[in-house]
Amino acid sequence: MGSTLAVTGKGGVGKTTLAALTIRWLAERSRHPILAVDADPNTCLDAMLGVEVSSTVGQVREEAKQLAQPGSGASISKEEWLDLKIQQSIVESDVFDLIAMGRSEGPGCYCYANNVLRGVLDRLAKHYGSVVIDNEAGLENLSRRTVQTVDQMIFVSDPSARGLATTRRLYELCQEMDMSAGAMGVIVNRARDVQCLDRARALFTDTKVEILGAIPEDAEVGDEAAAGGAVFSLPAENAVYKALSAILGQLEQDNNL
């Protein structure tokens, strides 16, 4: 059984960037096969990984609604059909596979398809050595439980006192919603000084959340993203990648990755 890492945090803090760089790091460590899960309805992870998603799980769910209509001529079971469609929506690269969740339910609940999909995704995740989930801002889709078990949850925070306080609230919401993970940690992104780590430690001192480290602000990362480049084209010595690699190396040593 592989390890599942989920990245969460408030809007624009760098979740997708760090999720994509984590996939690069895992690939460079030959932690194959790797499944990247884009759980943000505004599918962005594909561009940062240099691939393009053509169909999402949300679209499969919508199609499944049509299949449920009488006279749709379906000859295979709905479960088989969903399994097949999900397989077809996976983007395969040499280095990783990617699945995008797309939009959640449109108008009207379709609980049957959702339940089946959850089972399909859980089964799918079991085939991979590493699963990395990039979440949308906030906790909405964590509560939908895209994948049931998360070994390592990473809260990405900006370094400001307000940003850290928001991260603490997200953690509390997680607790209230009974969403646990094998381990939880905070990465402070775009850090300008080391004091922000002390502030973070002070805020989480009464919890099991570990303050994993800080990542500097680095123009090269922003420029690359603005130019539509993938994280694989960043130089290995890039400051953001180096700082993240040190954090991931520690998580691996602690058996949380």
Ligand X SMILES: Nc1ncnc2c1ncn2[C@@H]1O[C@H](COP(=O)(O)OP(=O)(O)OP(=O)(O)O)[C@@H](O)[C@H]1O
40 contacts ligand X (rule: CB under 6 A): yes
Cα of 47 vs its chain's centroid, Å: 14
- The Cβ-side half-sphere exposure at 24, using a 13 Å CA radius, reads 24
Cα of 179 vs its chain's centroid, Å: 15
24 contacts ligand X (rule: CB under 6 A): no
User: 176-205: which residues touch Mg ion (CB under 5 A)?
Assistant: none
- Which member of 131, 188, 211, 215 binds ligand X (CB under 6 A)? 215
100 contacts ligand X (rule: CB under 6 A): no
What is the spatial distance between Cα 136 and Cα 12, in angstroms, rounded to a whole number? Answer: 10
Phi-psi region of 178 (alpha: psi -120 to 50; beta: other; left: phi over 0): left
Q: Are 189 and 157 in contact (CB under 8 A)?
A: yes
Q: Are 48 and 225 in contact (CB under 8 A)?
A: yes
Q: Which stretch binds ligand X (CB under 6 A): 106-114, 177-185, 212-220, 246-254?
A: 212-220
CB of 58 to Mg ion, least distance (A): 16
From Mg ion, ligand X, none, interface partner of 170 (C-beta below 5 to 8 A by class): none
15 contacts Mg ion (rule: CB under 5 A): yes
16 contacts ligand X (rule: CB under 6 A): yes
From Mg ion, ligand X, none, interface partner of 11 (C-beta below 5 to 8 A by class): ligand X
Q: How many Cβ atoms are within 10 Å of 90's Cβ, its own excluded?
A: 15
- Which member of 12, 106, 235, 249 binds ligand X (CB under 6 A)? 12
Residue 116 vs residues 83, 89, 144, 218: alpha-carbon distances, Å: 9, 16, 13, 42
- Which member of 14, 58, 163, 185 binds ligand X (CB under 6 A)? 14
Q: Which stretch binds ligand X (CB under 6 A): 9-17, 90-98, 102-110, 167-175?
A: 9-17
User: 16-35: which residues touch Mg ion (CB under 5 A)?
Assistant: 16
What is the spatial distance between Cα 193 and Cα 191, in angstroms, rounded to a whole number? Answer: 6
Binding site for ligand X (CB under 6 A): 11-17, 40, 137, 189-190, 215, 217-218, 221-222, 225, 240
